[in-house]
Amino acid sequence: MKRSRRTKIVATLGPASDTPEMIERLFRAGADVFRLNMSHLSREQLPAKVEVIRTIEREAKRPIGILVDLQGPKLRLGVFAEGAVMLEKGATFVLDGDTTPGDVTRCHLPHPEILEALEPGHAILLDDGKLRLSVVETSGDRAVTRVEVGGRISNKKGVSLPHTVLPVPAMTEKDRSDLEAGLNAGADWIAVSFVQRPEDVAEVKKVCAGRALVMAKIEKPQALARLDEIVEVSDGLMVARGDLGVEMPLEQVPGVQKRLTRSARRSGKPVVVATQMLESMITAPVPTRAEVSDVATAVYEGADAVMLSAESAAGAFPVDAVSTMSRIAEQVERDALYWSIIRAQKDTPDQTAADAIAAAAHQMVDALDLDAVMAWTHSGSTVLRLTRERPNASVIALTPKRETARRLAMAWGVHPIVTKDASDVDDMAFRAAKFAVREQFAAVGDRIIVVAGLPFGTPGATNLVRLTFITREHAEKA
């Protein structure tokens, strides 16, 4: 199951990919991580879904990552007496705490925290941004707005607030219940929706307590104001372009995508580019040229993973979508321009032993034209520092911890292997060489780099890099 690309693929499961047979087909087609969206999956269904993936993992003998995506707070309007109204541009429309069904002049907003946080000049977007209101006046439990972009609005449509920082946590009671269910089921990553501040991520990390890594979904403009703090506390980022495109001008989203991708890379943390990547493949067997270019742009930028949402969850061609995305990534990574772009983004290593070792390994790969870096790791931190350098070689992560291998399925260029820890330096080098041959990353006569930490079994103790020749004995033992 060796992949011929470094960029990983996250596939969302749903009605179109609900059976064990289809999930296995998606994995065989190229999915490295499966996303379970708790907006559409009940916590009662979650354990069975995870077990299907783990069964495929055992049969394939390759670690598979599982990302549980929390729904987050859903802000919605109340209801209208006639089910819907037509709001005209320039009209006055009031949002208030009155539960009486609304009309063309007003509507109940069942979120008092929004009414308290709104200020004159703030924008309110309704129904995925189709309608736009501007706040004119507020009085605690009532907001008077002017309709800037009108249209038809019906019961319980979504509300977005691009200018308002809400005094509410990113986790609802449903999210807390779903989070516990995800952790108990064995999720590797937890995605936090509608992050506005680093505290939103810290709250989830506290509950996780190391049982899963936490990914911040950047889908609100407010998060950009505190991006460095959010990156610092998170284990990874997701560029959730769908909601970003609702809450900010569409033309700004590509720049934000690049900013987020590079920020995560500088920190050595996985970054996933998501939403509408191959949207037309929900109903068509081939994507548009623009969609191919969109996926390619994320790969050229060095994103750790690209994600399929409705394409694999509810589309008519889920397997085709995964295989198409895989082919795009493979082609981009063969392009000579790819490596020039990747190297242009190289950052200065931090003054740590792990970064010094990673930088040295990267230089050795280039100087000796090597194909593989074998990294012994417990927590995965050594491997993530190596992949931050984006070496032009495969990074094979050797770890005694199955959960570490699964988490690293999200990381760029990493081929995770679960094996017992090394007993001494010679065992470390010998078994690394053996695995390089077995997994077809090297052959007799090749050289590989082995990275590890002494004493063995000590997390975060990376302090050794060794050049090893592949011999016939390694090949025979493989």
- Distance of alpha carbon 273 from alpha carbon 295, whole angstroms: 9
User: Which tokens belong to 42?
Assistant: 């009940």
Catalytic: which of 3, 43, 76, 466?
A: 76
For 103-171, the three-class secondary structure string (H helix, E strand, C coil) is CCCEEECCCHHHHHHCCCCCEEEECCCCEEEEEEEECCCEEEEEEEECEEEECCCEEECCCCCCCCCCC
Question: Which residue blocks in 351-460 are alpha helix, DSSP H?
Answer: 353-368, 381-388, 402-407, 425-438
User: Which tokens belong to 370?
Assistant: 């090597």
Kindly report the number of other CB atoms within 10 A of residue 204's CB atom. Answer: 25
User: Which tokens belong to 169?
Assistant: 């946590």
Catalytic: which of 7, 12, 275, 387?
A: 275
28 is catalytic: no
Which amino acid, residue 382? T
Q: Quick check: 54 and 406 in contact, CB under 8 A?
A: no
E-assigned strand segments in 166-250:
189-192, 213-218, 236-240
Q: Which residue has the tokens 């291998």?
A: 405
76 is catalytic: yes
Which amino acid, residue 83? G
User: Which tokens belong to 330?
Assistant: 């493979």
User: Which tokens belong to 85?
Assistant: 């109204």
Q: What is the DSSP string of 303-316?
A: -SEEEESHHHHT-S
- Distance of alpha carbon 151 from alpha carbon 129, whole angstroms: 11
Catalytic: which of 49, 132, 217, 265?
A: 217
Q: For residue 188, how many C-alpha atoms fall within 13 Å in the half-sphere facing its CB?
A: 27
Catalytic: which of 5, 6, 8, 35?
A: 35
Consecutive H or E run containing 223: helix 221-224
Q: Which residues are catalytic?
A: 35, 76, 217, 275
